[in-house]
């Protein structure tokens, strides 16, 4: 009776270990799918950031044309030529707007690159999670095999007795001995 209980317990433990491995594998696959979707979302956001920076650059270019037009009109109204301080002011305005346009484009580019890099890292984490899940699944079969073998050995050792046909080891308590101490591992 005890032999059967040990074998059943070993079988149940093995089944539980295999199920844990399957769960770990499924969780790893799920994490990978979520990571890939997050990467796609970050790539879309990166494109949107770059598009927004191009719109901002266009807005700045339009503002530049308006300001330059106003400056030229003011110079024309005064009747003076484009010399000295007036030319320097127009040049400074053009340089400032050029820097603003470039800065707007650079911000969008950098933000887009940052989002893509974050997406790549997230995807790599998902792939790693999937790999760990597969490894846990494989390991669960090894652990299950060890549980079955361990319970079979225990059943043979404890349930064999000294009767004929017992098929196991002799029961040490039957001859006045003691049970061996369990392994610390």
Burial pattern 50-66, b for ≥16 Cβ within 10 A else e, equals beebeebbeebeeebee
Mean of pLDDT over the chain: 83
Per-residue pLDDT for 133 more than 90?
yes
User: What pLDDT is attached to residue 154?
Assistant: 87
Query: In the chain, what are the helix, strand and coil shares in percent, each to the nearest 5?
Result: 85, 0, 15
Percent of the chain with pLDDT over 90: 52
Read off the pLDDT of residues 23-76 as tens digits, 9 standing for 90 and up.
999 999 999 999 999 999 999 999 999 999 999 999 999 998 888 888 777 777
pTM: 0.64
DSSP letters along 103-122, please?
HHHHHHHHHHHHHHHHHHHH
> What is the distance between the terminal CA atoms of the chain, rounded to a whole angstrom?
27
Q: Which whole number is the average pLDDT over 173-177?
A: 53
pLDDT computed for residue 123 by the predictor: 95
* pLDDT at residue 91, as a whole number: 82
CB 147 within 8 A of CB 17: yes
Write the Ramachandran bin of 162: left for phi over 0, alpha for psi from -120 to 50, otherwise beta.
alpha
């Amino acid at each position: 009776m005890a032999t059967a209980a040990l074998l059943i317990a070993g079988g149940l433990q093995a089944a539980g270990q295999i199920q844990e491995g399957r769960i770990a594998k499924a969780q790893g696959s799920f994490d990978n799918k979520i990571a890939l979707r997050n990467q796609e979302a970050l790539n879309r956001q990166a494109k949107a950031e770059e598009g927004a920076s191009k719109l901002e650059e266009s807005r700045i270019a339009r503002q530049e044309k308006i300001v330059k037009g106003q400056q030229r009109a003011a110079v024309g109204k005064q009747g003076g030529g484009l010399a000295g301080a007036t030319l320097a002011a127009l040049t400074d305005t053009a340089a400032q707007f050029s820097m603003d346009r470039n800065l707007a484009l650079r911000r969008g580019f950098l933000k887009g690159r940052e989002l893509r890099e974050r997406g790549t890292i997230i995807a790599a984490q998902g792939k790693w999670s999937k790999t760990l899940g597969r490894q846990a699944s494989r390991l669960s079969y090894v652990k299950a095999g060890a549980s079955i073998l361990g319970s079979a050995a225990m059943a043979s050792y404890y349930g064999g007795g000294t009767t004929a046909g017992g098929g196991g080891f002799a029961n040490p308590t039957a001859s006045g001995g003691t049970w061996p101490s369990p392994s610390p591992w």
